[in-house]
Amino acid sequence: MKRTVRRRVSRTRKTRKPAGGATKPKTAVQEALEVTWVLKGHLKNAQISYLRVGGLLAKVREAKLFSALGHPDIESYAEQRLHLARTSLYKYLRVYDWVSRNHKEWLEPKPQGFIPDLSDVADLVWIESELEKKSLGKDARASLETFRKQALAGELRQQDLSGWRKTRSRGPDTVKSVVSALRRIRKRIAGLQPGLPEAIAQLDALIDVLGNARTLKLAGLDSVLNRETPFSRQILTA
């Protein structure tokens, strides 16, 4: 009898709850980390769902399943059956086609690692298309490889890529493009009636100055342009 009582007491002690029955509240840091972890999971699932939608749309396109339901094309099918606008339809298909060529690992049943936001992946698509060009210069390739790594990690800043693209589009030799533009302007002015000989003379002088400046730059003597000396003035106005 005594043993039975002791066992009951022992079990009661083991299952006894803290006073008041309340658990210790989470700290703000713990709650923030938990919410962040859940958000990451939902975001990745959203990207996986995006690819699955694209894959099914590609199947409808390739097998022409839309015709089985009486639709003349996939656009009609998407609009009437899925309430999916033409722009959204082709965005899903374009992203899926790109992923199937370049990132097949994202199409695995349970893909590992980070998947960037596929609804706004245009920059990454452009970067990888540029990297496929054999004529790409060494410096440009190095910059694009860096941007690619940042984009795949979700760390690419839009202003960094945009600034680089603008600088690259201007090219290293802007003087040549300005001279070409001035020559086109001169040709148009020369065709005006009545003529404008003074304007043409001033344009000719400016074209000559820029031409001399470009020659110095190509010769590695462009530092002369930054020094106001009789010698530099003589070269530029010769």
Same domain, 159 and 192: no
Q: Which of 68, 85, 107 is the last residue of a domain?
A: 107
pLDDT digits (tens, 9 = 90+) for 34-59: 999 999 999 999 999 999 999 999 99
Q: For position 232, what pLDDT does the model report?
A: 44
CB within 8 Å of 232: residues ≥ 6 apart = 224, 225
Q: For position 120, what pLDDT does the model report?
A: 77
Q: Note whether residue 113 is domain-resident.
A: no
Same domain, 85 and 52: yes
**Overall pTM > 0.85:** no
Q: Which of 129, 153, 170 is the last residue of a domain?
A: 170
How high does pLDDT run on average in the chain? 82
Same domain, 131 and 79: no
Same domain, 98 and 44: yes
Return the SS3 of 151: helix
Q: Note whether residue 19 is domain-resident.
A: no
Same domain, 42 and 98: yes
Same domain, 101 and 139: no
The answer to whether 203 and 186 are in contact (CB under 8 A) is yes
Mean local confidence (pLDDT), 73-89: 95
Same domain, 100 and 48: yes
pLDDT over 90 for what percent of the chain? Answer: 45
| Alpha carbons 77 and 88: distance in angstroms, whole number | 13
Instruction: Select, from the ranges 85-99, 119-133, 193-207, the one with the highest average predicted confidence (pLDDT).
Output: 85-99
Q: Note whether residue 159 is domain-resident.
A: yes
Burial (CB count <10 Å: 0-12, 13-18, 19+), residue 74: buried
Q: For position 24, what pLDDT does the model report?
A: 83
Same domain, 44 and 58: yes
Q: Note whether residue 47 is domain-resident.
A: yes
Q: Note whether residue 10 is domain-resident.
A: no
Same domain, 102 and 87: yes
Q: Is the backbone peptide bond immediately before 194 cis, with ω within 30 degrees of 0?
A: yes
pLDDT digits (tens, 9 = 90+) for 145-189: 999 999 988 899 889 998 898 887 665 556 777 788 888 888 888
Same domain, 36 and 103: yes
pLDDT of residue 221 exceeding 70, the answer is: no
Same domain, 103 and 37: yes
pLDDT over 70 for what percent of the chain? Answer: 77
Q: Note whether residue 99 is domain-resident.
A: yes
Q: Which of 170, 186, 202 is the last residue of a domain?
A: 170
pLDDT of residue 203 exceeding 60, the answer is: yes
Q: Which domain holds residue 195?
A: 174-236
pLDDT of residue 225 exceeding 50, the answer is: no
Q: Note whether residue 3 is domain-resident.
A: no
Q: Note whether residue 17 is domain-resident.
A: no
Same domain, 41 and 102: yes
Tell me the Cα Rg of the chain.
34
The total number of structural domains in the chain stands at 3
| Alpha carbons 12 and 2: distance in angstroms, whole number | 15
